[in-house]
Structure 1
Amino acid sequence: MATRRGAQGWEDGSLRPMLPQAATAADLPRGEGWGAEVKWDGYRVLLGPAPERSRRPGLRLLSRTGQDLTARFPQVAPLADLVADGSVLDGEVVSLLDGRPDFSALASGDPAAVVRVVVFDVLRHGTADVTAEPLTARRERLAGLPLPACAARSELFDDVDALLVATEQQGVEGVVVKRLASPYRAGTRSGDWRKHAHRRRRTVLVGGWRPVEGRPGPPPGSLLVGAPDAHGDLRFLGRAGSGLGAALAHAVGSRIADAGDRGTSPFADAVPAVDRRGARWCEARVRVEVAYRERTGGGRLRHPVVLGLREDAEPDPWEDA
């Protein structure tokens, strides 16, 4: 879902507001004119210079909703030298556990994980806006940049099927296929970038919670989650309790407390009695990432697992499969 809410881009007017280009979930094209990359399981960011008035001069990280994530990931501060000339890069912050991206470790700040940025595009090279250049030209610019140890380039492959097999075998999230001749379309979802995830994932809103059985209060034992539909109404997606370990449950509970309680359900549709029994309702402001097998005919998520808090992305719309 393309989003432009609250973005603060870099000061060059031609690149403002500057938000990452999004990929469309669709059948993956093959053949000449297309390249495939690993779909990384992390926080999508744009990396560029901090404004001169900033309290933290050097590097600035913006999420795909325009949120400043600079302070959250001090491990990637060495990239400041690379963008000091005004360059702006597109990439993904990932946490690596045993060499593989782990979103839960990233969301929780697991100290055992290694934080890295995988860089896959260049939007501005020095003072030059290069978004109109084809992807192949932007990738050549990326190849010439001396990345520090906290960063790596995302490789571009020509065999989509081989990459699909390899990423599934290695437990990586999925694949993105990009048109090699395409420009960079900031802040939009384009068919020039198409994605496939091996596991279904989405960002959802928490509209209520149920305590652990036998305990009267927080932390939550399960979450009642939903998604906004095309009319802006919050629609019920189901109850998710798997994945809520002690640390994550306390973190989510703290955010729910900040969001505020409410006396009635925020969902526009009726919550089944089996789910609402003992439920506490809250303002639907807390976002979490969930994995699930599929959606039922009624729209519920089947076997949802809570992966972590999601601060860098808007909730996926109800209409998304």
Structure 2
Amino acid sequence: MRPMLATSADAERGLPADGERWAYEVKWDGWRVIADLGDGRARLWSRSEREITAAFPELAQPPNPATALLDGEVVILVNGVPSFTALADRIHVTDPRKARALAARNPATLIAFDVLRHDGADLMRRSWQERREVLEGLDPGGRWQISPVYDDVGLLVHATLEQGLEGVVAKRRGSEYRPGVRSSDWRKLAHRRVQSVVVGGWRPEINDRGTIGALLIGVPGDDGRLRFAGRMGSGLTAAGPQAELRERLGPLQLERSPFGDAVPRADAKGATWVEPVVVVDARHLGRTENGRLRQPVFRGIRSDLRAEDVRYE
């Protein structure tokens, strides 16, 4: 099952300020998961409906033996703040020994913020407030936590900004859970601009043909065609991302550009085109009128997303 998604808050008005009708939570910088709990075990599924249980052995046995289906976020905390970089090393792991070693070094935490099923009862048609009361009754403990809820959006926005957290999510207390739907009943405000993009090609370093010097990135339009969003070279120097990108992009070569619009000659020069299926995250300083990201910086590969999941934030 695919999780319910939030829409972006209005840039001028921000999040709705009404603690009686809305609840406010921290926007966690991690991997969105659906967790299926039963018989003292947990199975984890990514947003793209891929099972990732093997990557997180420390979450395989929740302290509470409840039977439930939870929506939440897997995070790795470094100095009390979620680290996307630390988490990116975990999501692709399938070897049990490697997963256990990584878990011992940087254990993950699952922060649950919704419950969709409990003891066989489907809760998705119930209000967020009713579901929240059931969730709080689970009291998981250990590496399983429940995301705190606040009723003062102004204080939470200030606190999350001050503490270097990703942002705030507002949820309408009377809203149902709508799987796979991006709903205005949930609204998010991000302090840092991050955009998921699809890789449509790459260019080598000038003096090293084997090293990826820049990615040619895009975002699917409403018609499904990939629209060019710019060239991203910053953030690609680390050995880990280089190796993984080469491994993923190597078998995907195309003879022609996969972009539905023209890629400027200066960006396309020397490019190797690839099938547009690999999704990565980019930090940026905003967008131009034609949809290009300003100064995009590579942040990590998003194995939990498919190309068709990507839209402009």
Q: Same fold (TM over 0.5)?
A: yes
Q: Distance in 1 between matches of 2:65 and 2:231?
A: 45
Within 5 Å, which residues of 2 pair with 1:185-264?
185-217=178-210, 219-244=211-236, 245-258=238-251, 260-264=252-256
* 1:226 Cα deviation from its structure 2 partner: 0.7
Secondary structure at the aligned position of 1:168 is classed as: helix
* 1:237 Cα deviation from its structure 2 partner: 0.5
CA contact (8 A) 1:235 1:318 kept: no
Compute the RMSD of aligned alpha carbons.
Answer: 2.1
The equivalent of 1:89 in structure 2 is 70
Residues 292, 178 of structure 1: CA spacing in aligned structure 2 closer, same or farther, 3 A cutoff? same
Residues 82, 202 of structure 1: CA spacing in aligned structure 2 closer, same or farther, 3 A cutoff? farther
CA contact (8 A) 2:227 2:259 kept: yes
The equivalent of 2:110 in structure 1 is 117
* 1:148 Cα deviation from its structure 2 partner: 3.4
CA contact (8 A) 1:291 1:304 kept: yes
The equivalent of 2:143 in structure 1 is 150
Instruction: Kindly provide the amino acid, as one letter, of the partner of residue 199 in structure 1.
Output: R
The equivalent of 2:85 in structure 1 is 104
Q: Deviations over 1:173-211 (max 9, x none)?
A: 111001112121222111111111111212111111111
TM-score, normalised with respect to structure 1: 0.86
Q: Distance in 2 between matches of 1:90 and 1:82?
A: 17
CA contact (8 A) 2:55 2:90 kept: no
Q: Structure 1, unaligned stretches of length 5 or more?
A: 1-17
* 1:277 Cα deviation from its structure 2 partner: 2.1
Q: Distance in 1 between matches of 2:27 and 2:310?
A: 23
Secondary structure at the aligned position of 1:285 is classed as: coil
Q: Deviations over 1:87-140 (max 9, x none)?
A: 111100112122211112211239453311111111111111111222122111
Q: Distance in 2 between matches of 1:68 and 1:80?
A: 21
Instruction: Kindly provide the amino acid, as one letter, of the partner of residue 35 in structure 2.
Output: L
The equivalent of 2:299 in structure 1 is 307
Q: 2:28 aligns with which of 40, 47, 64?
A: 40
CA contact (8 A) 2:23 2:170 kept: yes
CA contact (8 A) 1:227 1:316 kept: no
* 1:280 Cα deviation from its structure 2 partner: 1.3
The reply to whether residue 69 of structure 1 matches residue 56 of structure 2 is: no
CA contact (8 A) 1:204 1:226 kept: yes
Q: Distance in 2 between matches of 1:80 and 1:128?
A: 21
CA contact (8 A) 1:208 1:225 kept: yes
Q: Distance in 1 between matches of 2:71 and 2:310?
A: 28
Residues 317, 271 of structure 1: CA spacing in aligned structure 2 closer, same or farther, 3 A cutoff? farther
Q: Distance in 2 between matches of 1:177 and 1:293?
A: 24
Instruction: Kindly provide the amino acid, as one letter, of the partner of residue 30 in structure 1.
Output: A
* 1:316 Cα deviation from its structure 2 partner: 7.2
Instruction: Kindly provide the amino acid, as one letter, of the partner of residue 38 in structure 1.
Output: V
TM-score, normalised with respect to structure 2: 0.88
Residues 318, 98 of structure 1: CA spacing in aligned structure 2 closer, same or farther, 3 A cutoff? closer
The equivalent of 1:7 in structure 2 is none
Residues 271, 220 of structure 1: CA spacing in aligned structure 2 closer, same or farther, 3 A cutoff? same
Percentage of matched positions with identical amino acids: 45
Q: Structure 2, unaligned stretches of length 5 or more?
A: 92-101
The equivalent of 2:278 in structure 1 is 286
